[in-house]
Amino acid sequence: MSARAASSVDDLPPDSDALEGALNPRETPELFGHEAAETEFLDAFRRGRMPQAWLIGGPEGVGKATFAWRAARFVLSRPDPRLPAVERATNLRVSPDEPAARRIIARAHPDVACLRREWDARTKKHFTEIRVDDVRKALAMFHHAAGEGGWRVAVIDSADDLNTASANALLKMIEEPPPRSLFFILAHRPARVLPTIRSRCRRLTLQPLAPEAIVRAVRAQGEDWAEHSDAELMQAAVRACGSVRDAMRLLAQGALGMAERTEAELARLPQVDMRRIMALADAVHGREGAESFEILLGAVYDWLDRTVRARAQEPGAAQRLAPFAQVWEKIAASARETQALNLDRRPLVLSIFSDLSDAERASRS
């Protein structure tokens, strides 16, 4: 397991969503809980009905990138659907020792592109979005013949980070792709992807994982994660709401406690105890509070999601849920700005709970 977790290539900057101590999806051999999705992809490949673009949706951390890289390794290792190995396959697993898989893991395969937020060497941070020049650079290989004469594969991780210009640049590529091109477009919120992109993709949705599958996935990350007790793993898995990534964050030192504290304050809404909220804000302050801040945000988003789903069928739901939609957008935008500009997180925490309290009151009126 890579100590830096961003890549097995030591001289490259970390991926934009790298989680310390975790395997990169590019090099993760196993996938848990998504057997139906693997079967659907494998069936399309065998039948020669492979869409050139797949929109892979689902909450953050459920395995979208792991699925995409697993499918890429399979297709590039077995480019002909008539091969006996394809006919015998029951899933998309390919040994990491196979030549194509080794080159993908080493980021050395000539027919593979990964499009994501790039590293800004000036600020030593990732850009907050995927820029149009990033699209053109990453997908330039599609203007040339395949280096190994087979498929060309691009993983877009994720469409949520595209701006208008970069989304339109991607659209132009998938509108008229060259033969044997394959695009895996990942999206945490597929409904927000440009409609013209969605219309050109086959939709594949990965559902939140069961706690048992999350435990297996965390253990598969390596010895450091397997050291956690069964009780700790299951507690994190249950609280993670279907996300392996969130479970791993929760297992970080102090994270489970932060989740419990945040959920306790959310349960009090619309009442707000400012003394307790100030304590939460202090816990996410500074460099050492960055991970706790991510846990707090995750708990807030999960609470919003559960609240909206639970009340969606109530009379007058659209009007009553409007305040939650507005505050959700506001929180997400403010969090991005705070992280991009390295602002003090404490005022944002106070604002989050104030806004949620107002939204809760408005929804009840």
Question: Which CATH number fits the domain that encloses residue 131?
Answer: 3.40.50.300
The whole-angstrom distance between residue 59's C-alpha and the CA centroid of its chain comes to 7
Q: How far is CA 51 from CA 91, 322, 334, 351, in A?
A: 18, 37, 37, 45
Residues 196 and 63 in one domain: yes
pTM given for the model: 0.78
Residues of the chain under the 50 pLDDT cut: 1-8
pLDDT attached to residue 10: 54
DSSP 91: S
177 and 323 housed in the same domain: no
pLDDT, residue 11, reads 61
Task: Give the domain range for residue 292.
Answer: 252-364
pLDDT of 137: 95
Beta strands at 202-205 and 112-115: parallel, antiparallel or unpaired? unpaired
Given this model, what pLDDT does residue 5 score?
Answer: 40
The count of structural domains within the chain is 2
Instruction: Give the single-character DSSP code of 287.
Output: G
Query: Which residue, of 205, 234, 268, is where some domain finishes?
Result: 205
Examine the fold and report which residue of 205, 235, 264 is the final residue of a domain before the chain moves on: 205
Q: Are residues 196 and 259 in the same domain?
A: no
Residue 271, token pair as written in the block: 């009442």
* pLDDT at site 313: 87
Output the pLDDT for position 4: 35
Residues 99 and 160 grouped into a single domain: yes
* Assigned token pair, 182: 């394959």
Instruction: Give the Cβ contact number of residue 179 at 10 Å.
Output: 8
Among the candidates 174, 205, 236, a domain finishes at 205
The answer to whether residues 188 and 281 belong to one domain is no
Tokens representing residue 237 in the block: 């898995």
- DSSP alpha helix (H) spans, 107-254: 132-138, 164-175, 195-198, 211-219, 223-226, 230-239, 244-251
Q: Give yes or no: residues 160 and 280 share one domain.
A: no
Judgement on whether residues 47 and 188 belong to the same structural domain of the protein = yes
Structure tokens at 187: 């999206």
SS (H, E, C) 14-79: CCCCCCCCCCCHHHCCCCCCCHHHHHHHHHHHHCCCCCCEEEEECCCCCCHHHHHHHHHHHHHHCC
C-alpha to C-alpha distance for 296 and 168, rounded to whole angstroms? 34
Would you say residue 1 lies in a domain?
no
- Least Cα distance to 172 among 140, 129, 214 occurs for 140
d(CA 193, CA 203): 12
